[in-house]
Structure 1
Amino acid sequence: MTGATSATARAAAERHTGRTTASARPLGGTAFLVDLDGGERVVTKRGAGPGAARAEAAGLRWLAEPGDVPVPEVFGDDEDWLVMRHVPGGPASPAAAERFGRGLAALHLRGAPAFGAPPPGGPTDAWMGLAPMRNEHRADWPTFYARDRVEPYVRMAADQGVFTADQVAVFDRLCARLPELAGPAEPPARLHGDTWSGNVHWADDGLVWLIDPAAHGGHRESDLAMLRVFGLPHLDRVLGAYAEAAADAGAPLADGWPDRVGLHQLHILLVHAALFGGGYGQQSLAAARDALRLG
């Protein structure tokens, strides 16, 4: 895989836009802000691993199809690089939060072919940030969540000494009981998949844009739970508008959904535990024990 440098970022931008570039500067990680000749700006981003750029591009296109929530336009992608529109940031506002909540409800209700389904054209082996993530069709949400969103990351963390055998057994019990803990069955939703606050982008056009997806077919409570992980401006406005829009569409959130927030946050906590260890392992364990008390 090519290195992530200003030179390779500019080359990727030129390859996928057909334009010459004037400059590039790092945005953090492997993303760069590239100035095209003529003044337009794009973001180039090198994938975290094989297939990552293509997975993210497919996710952006899938989320963009209905136009419910704005996402950056994809100019092109290849095995290493994704090139997309740059969206300047702006202030967070209650009006934008409410519009985002309504749009997210509509996006979820667009549905997906199955739990675990990748976006059209997206690979089965995808990524969530720096962590590999498998998107494979499963018959129901408990099976999908256990096999593809809990167990792989528990194993990764345990292999690094984050969890003891007794602690792994807590997650095993949780997975075995997921059918009774998951709440009423729902059809698969079209998920962004990584809606922590860093991927909820308040733009200068007065809208909320979604960036950096780990898109797949999943449970809509997962996206809502992830909004809470690191805090989000005007979160109450987002959730209130979401609940109202979902109810108006004839698909109200199931009773008790706030009690299941920790269960749905378990995936992102385990990803962090596997990548970074430290306190994330204890947070994951606490979330699993709390979820076991729901039944």
Structure 2
Amino acid sequence: MNDHHLKSHSDAPQGFFAAEAAGLKWLAEPGVIPVVEVIDSGEDHLRLERLEEVGSDANAAAVFDRRLARLHDSGAPGFGWSPSESAFFGPLYAPFAVANDAVSAFCDYWADQRLSPILTWLDGELTDDEKVTVTSAIEVIRSGAFDGICGDGVEAPARVHGDLWAGNLMWTPDGCTLIDPAAHGGHRLEDLALLALFGTPFLEEIFTGYEEVHPMPAGWREDLPVHSFFALLAHVRLFGRGFLAQTLGAARSITARARQLQA
């Protein structure tokens, strides 16, 4: 068996594999969490170490949560910053470019670099009422209501995986190992929200252990829809209206949460 895993796509956007390679190296740089090792990359491929996959278990989750908190605490130069010239989001066969200009405020990054552009791409796919629902959620995010957690303080840019759904968390003999990132400087809740979005084994254990390393304010989980909102909109763009009901539900939760925080 080969000692490497080859990802390839002849029509990949220019810089796509270089961005993934740079992201993996940046996540590995602090030395606090296992990350799949990059062997080499080119315009049409990325060669990685081959990992041995094992079953999920509570002990591995209990170690991963602490490692993830330390990774986030390693920080980033700014919100939206990426360790590569170009940045992308989406699956191997259909990635799309995202902005990667470093800014100082989460609200500017999330609303202007991520959410508004994807809403523009969806123009014509949404009804007027659906567009109003999504736009209202973007506007309350743009207001700065979620620059902290639960309206408490202001979060500094964290070193985030950026696409940390359960499929990009590989359970190996070395513990939970990060693969397939969209790494950037972001809000720590981005990774936690994606772990929760489609279900991750031992999620409660992960959240509990995370808080032991990086304490969180009470009620922080109510902020999670803000941070899964981009991924949900991306799913509507990539896979169609089957994800729209969940996305609109998140939008309504965001506006309701903002009213609660302002009360």
User: Structure 1 length normalisation: TM-score?
Assistant: 0.80
The one-letter code of the counterpart of 1:136 is D
Query: Which stretch shows the higher mean deviation, 190-199 or 76-85?
Result: 76-85
Question: Which secondary structure state, in structure 2, belongs to the residue aligned with residue 228 of structure 1?
Answer: helix
2:108 paired residue number = 143
Counting only pairs closer than 5 Å after superposition, residues 198-213 of structure 1 correspond to structure 2 as: 198-203=167-172, 205-213=173-181
Which residue pairs with 1:45 in the alignment?
7
Alignment correspondent of 1:257: 220
User: Structure 1 runs of 4+ off > 3 angstroms?
Assistant: none
Range with greater deviation from structure 2 (206-215 or 169-178)? 169-178
Cα RMSD of the aligned pairs, angstroms, is: 1.5
Tell me which residue corresponds to 2:201: 233
Which residue of 269, 277, 281 corresponds with 2:232? Answer: 269
Query: 3-state SS of the aligned residue for 2:145?
Result: helix
SS of the equivalent of 2:77 reads: coil
Higher relative contact order (CA closer than 8 Å, sequence separation 6+):
2
* Structure 2 stretches lacking a partner, 5+ long: none
1:76 aligned to which of 16, 40, 50: 40
**Counterparts of 2:129 and 2:85, CA distance in 1:** 34
Alignment coverage as a number of residue pairs: 247
Change (3 A) 1:181 1:74: closer
1:157 matches 2:125 = no
Query: Which shows bigger deviation, 172-181 or 259-268?
Result: 172-181
Conserved 8 A contact 1:201-1:210: yes
Equivalence map 1:1-295=2 (5 Å): 35=1, 40-46=2-8, 48-119=12-83, 122-129=84-91, 130-132=94-96, 133-159=98-124, 161=125, 163-178=126-141, 179-182=144-147, 183-184=151-152, 185-203=154-172, 205-246=173-214, 252-294=215-257, 295=259
C-alpha distance after superposition, 1:16-61 (max 9, x if no partner): xxxxxxxxxxxxxxxxxxx4xxxx4211112542211011000000
Counterparts of 2:52 and 2:188, CA distance in 1: 28
Return the TM-score normalized by structure 2: 0.89
Aligned mates of 2:171, 2:221 — CA distance in 1: 25
Tell whether the 8 Å contact from 1:105 to 1:245 is kept in structure 2 after alignment: yes
Output one character per residue of 1:100-120: Cα deviation in whole Å (capped at 9) or x when no partner: 00000000000000000002x
* Distance in 2, Cα, partners of 1:131 & 1:177: 28
Give the Cα–Cα distance (whole angstroms) in 2 for the partners of residues 266 and 147 of structure 1.
13
Task: In structure 2, give the amino acid aligned to 1:290.
Answer: S
Q: Which runs of 5+ in 1 are unaligned?
A: 1-34, 247-251
- Cα pair 2:15 2:86 within 8 Å, conserved: no
Q: Which has the larger radius of gyration?
A: 1
Query: What is the CA distance between 1:181 and its match in structure 2?
Result: 4.0
Q: Percent identity?
A: 37
